[in-house]
Amino acid sequence: MTQTPQHAFDEALQLTYNGETNRFQGRTSSAYANMIGPFGGLTAAAMLKAALEHRDRQGEPVTLTVNFAAAIQDGDYEIEAQATRTGRSTQHWYMSMWQAGEIVTTATAIFAMRKPTWGATDLHPPIFPAQGETKPFHSPIMPPWTKQYRFYMADDFENLVQTAQPTSETLQSIQDNPPRPLDFLSLTAMCDVFIPRIFVRRSQFVPAGTVAFTVYYHADSAVLAEHGTAEVMGQARGNRFYNRYFDQSAEIWTRSGDLLATSTQVVYFKE
Amino acid sequence: MTQTPQHAFDEALQLTYNGETNRFQGRTSSAYANMIGPFGGLTAAAMLKAALEHRDRQGEPVTLTVNFAAAIQDGDYEIEAQATRTGRSTQHWYMSMWQAGEIVTTATAIFAMRKPTWGATDLHPPIFPAQGETKPFHSPIMPPWTKQYRFYMADDFENLVQTAQPTSETLQSIQDNPPRPLDFLSLTAMCDVFIPRIFVRRSQFVPAGTVAFTVYYHADSAVLAEHGTAEVMGQARGNRFYNRYFDQSAEIWTRSGDLLATSTQVVYFKE
């Protein structure tokens, strides 16, 4: 194998830190472009990265909430990150992304020192179809960022979005393309790869965009490092669609049934 | 019926607004005291109220995320609320609660103008036991704030927390005591009334406290006003318990099966 250049995901997340202003300079990436603006999962990862790389940071991410306040224009942006409170074992963060003097995205995060405790997983892992029963989940009409992932699903894109589905729940495998070792940044982005549930549910496209996105991390960096470049399993479903907004929840599992992250989001839709 | 004085919930949420400083002055309430500090659901409602009562506010709450950054001391606090971005149909907020010059709680919220759209509820409403099959869910060892609610459950407190449960999922009715017309503030607090799932799951008490709490609202003020003082149904469950933190998710339903809110939280625990 020849040496590979930097992964597109890392390239897209390059931030230049100015310790004096508490600000990070970044730039949107055409590789991770969505229909309009950048893929939200990448923006969320950038917000987390600003806290992760801040010199005051202590501990590892336990939760991240990102609010998408306005459309992000292609080009430069700045992220301001500040520790709002640092305790003995937890640290709280507030981040804001700026373009042209206005806030386009805000986020809060909690970092913590983990310690071994009693543990359990009450959620049941989904049963993923055998390899012969899934196929690549792709379509030419899917936006550019989806090419940076390998998705496999029992269903195909056309059937999923063109045929009325009894529920909005889907199950798919997710892997960076090419594979990249899993970390908090890529795990964050993977929580946002699911097709908006309203497309699945209504078997039609309507204008839709995530306005808020939350991730709860159930792993530490050692667990993620051990996971390596393997695919993960993602399951997502809609809960309620009501007067312009709906919420969807999702989980990211390893093939062996370890729950790595739970996630929720609220999505704007029209009509 | 004689005229009743102001409800304890409204008394506990009295905020004095200083339009010049963008700050609201409030005070903790002994009626809503928890084991340590105030009931988190009340703190969350206070954070939301600061945005709701701000003169710049437009629209109604779609989502609220509250991060509990440090223990709140009994006494006075201040909440600073600022609109971070106002769009045509959505408005983004950041709130911080201060005591003694330090941040003790932060929050973000999104408000929006709702419009009638296609709608659906994919989550299945729980089947609540008939009235004869539930009993008041109370115990002298439950903290003071629980007395401000009427809870009914098929199980009783002693059995629930002293006997190993097969799952951490519970179902209960929830109503202010005395009844109070439902609004965004009380709905927010009701999303946080569930016993930490770790007590249910392990049938023992361990130190535990919510660090982050998110609510997605699936109703507008007209729907809540129509609901009036009736009880709601709350269902909650734990997802994963891992190295000091676990997450739980919850839903608030009307008796007739309307989903009013979905909520998640991440909780610190010891051992």
Q: Is B249 helix (H, G, I), strand (E, B) or coil?
A: strand
Q: Which of B214, B239, B241 sits opposite A214 (nearest CB)?
A: B214
Which has the closest alpha carbon to B116: B188, B214, B222? B222
Mean pLDDT across A11-31: 95
Residue B2's pLDDT band (cuts 50, 70, 90)? low
Indicate whether A17 pLDDT > 60: yes
pTM: 0.97
Is B1's pLDDT higher than 60?
A: no
Question: What is the full DSSP assignment across B148-208?
Answer: GEEEEESS-HHHHHHS--SSS-EEEEEEESS-----HHHHHHHTT-SPPHHHHHHTS---E
Q: What pLDDT shows up at residue B195?
A: 92
Q: Which of B92, B103, B167, B197 to mutate to test the interface with A (most CBs of A within 10 A)?
A: B92
Query: With contacts defined as CB-CB under 8 Å, which chain B residues touch A266?
Result: 62-63, 110, 216
**Pick from B269, B206, B265, B209: which is nearest to B237 by CA?**
B265
The pLDDT confidence band at residue A44, using thresholds 50, 70 and 90, is very high
Q: Which domains does chain A have, with CATH numbers?
A: 8-114+131-269 (2.40.160.210)
Residue B34 has pLDDT above 90, yes or no: yes
Q: How far is B31 from chain A (nearest CA, A)?
A: 27
Asked whether the beta carbons of residue B84 and residue A103 sit closer than 8 angstroms, the reply is yes
Cβ–Cβ of A244/B168 closer than 8 Å?
Answer: no
- Cis omega (within 30 of 0) for bond into B207: no
> What's residue B142's pLDDT?
92
Percent of chain B with pLDDT over 90: 84
Structure tokens at A173: 């495998």
Token pair of B5 as six digits: 């004085």
State the count of interchain CB pairs (< 8 A) between A and B.
216
pLDDT, position A19: 84
Angle at A163 between CA A187 and CA B261, to 5 degrees: 55
Question: Amino acid identity, residue A47?
Answer: M
Chain A: closest CA distance from residue B258 (Å): 10
pLDDT bucket at B215, cuts 50 / 70 / 90:
very high
A75/A67 Cα distance (integer angstroms): 20
Contact, A72 vs A98, CB < 8 A? no
Closest-CA distance of chain A to residue B97, Å: 11
The DSSP H or E segment spanning A186 is: helix A184-190
Residues B140-170: pLDDT tens digits?
889 999 999 999 998 888 888 888 777 889 9
Answer yes or no: do B117 and A168 touch at CB < 8 A: no
- The mean-pLDDT minimum among A158-162, A249-253, A255-259 falls in A158-162
| Average pLDDT of span A206-224 | 97
Compare all CA atoms of chain B with the CA of A265 and give the residue at the minimum distance.
B216
Per-residue pLDDT band for A159 (boundaries 50, 70, 90) equals confident
Q: Among candidates A64, A128, A270, which has minimal Cα distance to B89?
A: A270
Contacts of A51 (CB under 8 A, 6+ apart): A57, A61, A81, A93, A95, A109, A111
Q: Is the pLDDT of residue A158 over 90?
A: no
Least confident of A255-259, B3-7, B62-66: B3-7
* Strand ranges, E, within chain A: 16-18, 23-27, 60-68, 76-86, 90-99, 102-112, 120-121, 135-136, 149-153, 170-176, 208-217, 232-242, 245-253, 259-269
Classify B234 as helix, strand or coil.
strand
- A115 and B243: CB-CB below 8 Å? yes
Residue A244 to residue B114, Cβ atoms within 8 A: yes
Beta carbons within 8 Å of A141's beta carbon, 6+ residues apart: none
Window from A31-35, A242-246, B163-167, B175-179 with minimum mean pLDDT: B163-167
A86-142: per-residue pLDDT in tens?
A: 999 999 999 999 999 999 999 999 999 999 999 999 999 999 998 789 999 988 889
Residue B172 distance to chain A (closest CA, Å): 19
pLDDT band at A175 (very low <50, low <70, confident <90, very high): very high
Report yes or no: A95 and A51 within 8 Å, Cβ to Cβ.
yes
How far is it, in rounded angstroms, from Cα A120 to Cα A63? 18
The SS3 assignment for A112 reads strand
Q: What is the mean pLDDT of residues A54-73?
A: 98
User: For the ranges A46-55, A200-209, A254-263, which has the lowest average pLDDT?
Assistant: A200-209
Q: Can you say whether residue B225 is alpha, beta or left, with left for phi > 0 and alpha for psi between -120 and 50 degrees?
A: alpha
- From the list A5, A12, A1, the residue with the least C-alpha distance to A189 is A12
φ/ψ of residue A24, rounded to 5: -120, 135
Structure letter (DSSP) for residue A53: T
pLDDT for the residue numbered B156: 83
Residue in B87, B110, B237 closest to A122 by CB: B237
